[in-house]
Structure 1
Amino acid sequence: MTRIAVTGHRNLSPRTTVLIDTAVREALRPYAPDIVGISCLASGADQIFASAVIDLGGVLEAVVPARQYGEASFRELLARAVTVRRLPYDLPSPAAYAAANEVMLASADVLVAIWDGLPAQGIGGTAEAVADAVRREMPVHIVWPPGAARLDTT
């Protein structure tokens, strides 16, 4: 089985969500059904990836960055995970996300990055996870189809 971790943006437009879902399934199809998807199950990219892994016949492993983390859609996917690793942070934070990235990358063969290619806005983000994977000489599949856009959260 190929172990595939995911990193990606949370704030996706509705149109981008559809584009990303199609592109992620296309990227994962060559590995199916022998996929172990590793995800923090955050809203947006992580949940799109997790649903695709399950739909393609793979299994899901969850890395929970903090005790107070996740919403209803997170809990639904968490219940479908075959393995759950909980990190010792109380609250979600850049440090918790960086630690979660480390756990995922340490146990993965491949990284799928649902990423617009922009620089990191701080530790624990998508760009940092990609840079860490590159340093490890891990294959990285960047998924950002034409027309994709992040929502402006400012």
Structure 2
Amino acid sequence: MVTLAVTGHMDLTDESVPLVKAALRELFQPYREDLVGVSCIAAGADSLFAEAVVEAGGRLVVVLPSQDYRQAKVKPDHAELFDRLHAAADEVLIMPHETANRQAYETANAVLLERADRLVAVWNGSPPSAKGGGTADVVVDARAAGLPVDVVWPEGAERRA
């Protein structure tokens, strides 16, 4: 059994989605039924990862940063997929924050890393931003903790401008 957690960009272009999905399916090949995936199921990379875990027959663990995350942060165009992944989860962890803010995201990211044997980063390699809490920050934290990181950024993948 291997537990993979995900961090990644939310703003993938439409053309990037099938590229990332294919790369994730390939990454999961060695694990198949022995796979546990941990995701916050946000739009973009988190949800693509979660979908791939479910499609591979793995167990999905959802980590929600706050009690109001669904109402406050899930946009209408992501709501159906979010709800489907939430329902497919074997386990749902809701962080003890009332509202989704930087502290809530940092707590959720810490839980992702605590639960993981490896981190999957759907990441273009850009450095951490000044505001913190982004994909690069999670990668830095994982590496500092000695957690192996698998970077998924297939050729042709791009973020929306």
| CA shift digits 1:50-87 (9 cap, x unpaired) | 01001111010000001222332212101111111101
Question: What amino acid does structure 2 have at the position aligned with 1:11?
Answer: D
Match among 89, 95, 101 for residue 97 of structure 2: 89
The structural deviation recorded for 1:94 is 2.0
Report SS of the residue matched to 1:84.
strand
Contact 1:36 1:59 (8 Å CA) reproduced: yes
TM-score (norm 1): 0.95
In the TM superposition, structure 1's runs of 4+ consecutive aligned residues that sit over 6 Å from their partners are none
Counterpart of 1:147? Answer: 156
Equivalent position amino acid for 1:107 in 2: R
TM score, norm. by length of structure 2: 0.91
> 3-state DSSP class of the match of 2:50?
helix
Separation in 2 of the partners of 1:86 and 1:22?
Answer: 29
CA distance in 2, matches of 1:2, 1:65: 23
For residue 127 of structure 1, what is the amino acid of its counterpart? A
Q: Distance in 1 between matches of 2:30 and 2:64?
A: 27
Alignment-derived partner of residue 135 in structure 1: 144
The runs of 5 or more residues in structure 1 that have no matched partner are none
CA contact (8 A) 1:4 1:37 kept: yes
Change (3 A) 1:95 1:123: farther
1: CA distance between counterparts of 2:52 and 2:142?
22
The DSSP-based 3-state class of the residue aligned with 2:11 is coil
Q: Distance in 1 between matches of 2:102 and 2:23?
A: 27
SS in 1 for 2:65: strand
The answer to which of 12-21 and 92-101 deviates more is 92-101
Q: Tell me the amino acid that sits aligned with residue 125 of structure 2.
A: G
Larger displacement relative to structure 2 (116-125 or 18-27): 116-125
1:22 counterpart residue number? 22
Root mean square deviation of aligned Cα: 1.0
Alignment of 1:38-57 (within 5 A): 38-57=38-57
**Percentage identity across paired residues of the two chains:** 45
